[in-house]
Amino acid sequence: MSEEKKKIVRTPISSYRDGRFTEIEDFVVREAPVTVHLNGKEFVTLVCSPVELKELAVGFLYSEGVLRQRESLKSIVINEEEGLIWVETAGEPAPRETLLKRFVTSTSTSGRFRASFYSAKNTEGIPRIDSGLQVATREIFHLADQLEKLSGVFKITGGTHSAALCRHDSVVYFYEDIGRHNAVDKMFGRCFLDGVTFDDKFLVFSGRISSEILIKVAKMGMPMIVSRSAPTELAISMAEHLNITVVGFVRDGRLSVYAHRERIVD
């Protein structure tokens, strides 16, 4: 069975249209918890589209900063049926701390905390992106169309988000998941496994660009994120600071650039 088919299940529903109910079968998206064990210990449970688990586990650990180099990954064992993953790393893994947690700890020793420091503090330690990437508007429109065309599970169920790693006008990797963070993590996981570098590539994404998504992109050293949807003010200010291009609302031949337009050529 293809990975796409495994994300979907047929279910009986009552469909109401033209003023009456009909009992039919329809497709809905699967959702299941998956537990990652790190060096023998239970580490995290993620609720996801329960396939591409290798990519998910590796991408999650990579995004969280637990896995940093390809050589650190000793082995990964997947039991897809039971939603279980065992990852072994060489040496001690970096302690798990989300960026948010790290930020909070570093600024609120007195229990006081200024939201306005979030942006600067939370991007601390992430280097400014240095990339000469240039992308044409027509490439962006083309890739936004590609993202839509490739989103097969969404078209059938309406229940997923999509993430595509792109270079010039091509999609290098594409992932769909019920969780927008999972879709991005699966993509990063694949890149980690394949040793892909990011400075000449960018993310085309179906979801809104929140600070958390922007931070993921920044940590990978990626110079640009494109979405059919909206960014938040905080994501924009972080992107401004980190030299990341933010493109939103790519629809019907229009788009908006919220930060670092110099990478977009006409």
Select from 113, 136, 145, 148 the one that contacts a copy of itself (CB under 8 A): 113
Binding residues for a copy of itself, rule CB under 8 A, total 68
Among 38, 50, 177, 188, interactor with a copy of itself by CB under 8 A: 50
Sequence-distant (≥ 6) Cβ neighbours of residue 69 within 8 angstroms: none
Q: Which stretch binds a copy of itself (CB under 8 A): 67-75, 107-115, 144-152, 188-196?
A: 107-115
Among 60, 188, 198, 258, binds a copy of itself (CB under 8 A): 258
211 interacts with a copy of itself by CB under 8 A = yes
Among 4, 13, 167, 172, binds a copy of itself (CB under 8 A): 13
Q: How is residue 79 written in tokens?
A: 């039991």
122: Cβ contacts below 8 Å, ≥ 6 apart: 99, 100, 103, 211, 215, 238
Q: Minimum Å distance from CB 193 to a copy of itself?
A: 23
Question: By C-alpha distance, which of 236, 229, 232, 235 is closest to 261?
Answer: 236
CB under 8 Å to 125, separation ≥6 — which residues? none
Residue in 69, 106, 170, 256 binding a copy of itself, rule: CB under 8 A: 256
**Between 191 and 203, CB nearer to a copy of itself:** 203
Near a copy of itself by CB under 8 A, which window of 14-22, 60-68, 184-192, 194-202?
Answer: 14-22
Site residues for a copy of itself, 220-249, by CB under 8 A, read 229-236, 249
Round to whole Å and give the CA distance between 224 and 4.
27
CB of 232 to a copy of itself, least distance (A): 4
- Which of 34/147 has CB closer to a copy of itself? 34
189 forms part of the interface with a copy of itself (CB under 8 A): no
Site for a copy of itself contains 82 (CB under 8 A): yes
Rounded distance between C-alpha atoms, residue 206 and residue 200, angstroms = 20
CB under 8 Å, gap of 24 or more: what pairs does 49-53 form?
49/7, 49/153, 49/160, 49/176, 49/177, 49/178, 49/179, 49/182, 50/6, 50/80, 50/83, 51/3, 51/6, 51/7, 51/80, 52/3, 52/175, 52/177, 52/186, 53/78, 53/80, 53/83, 53/85
Contact between 147 and a copy of itself by CB under 8 A: the answer reads no
Amino acid at 168: H
* 174 bridge partner residues: 164
Rounded to the nearest whole angstrom, what is the least distance from the CB of residue 196 to a copy of itself in the complex?
29
Q: Least distance to a copy of itself from the beta carbon of 157, Å?
A: 6
Q: Phi and psi for 178 in degrees, rounded to 5?
A: -65, -25
Using CB under 8 A, list all residues that contact a copy of itself. Answer: 9, 11, 13-21, 26, 28-35, 37, 40, 42, 45, 47, 50, 82-84, 100-101, 103-104, 108, 111-116, 118, 137, 157-159, 178, 208, 210-212, 229-236, 249, 253-258, 261, 264, 266
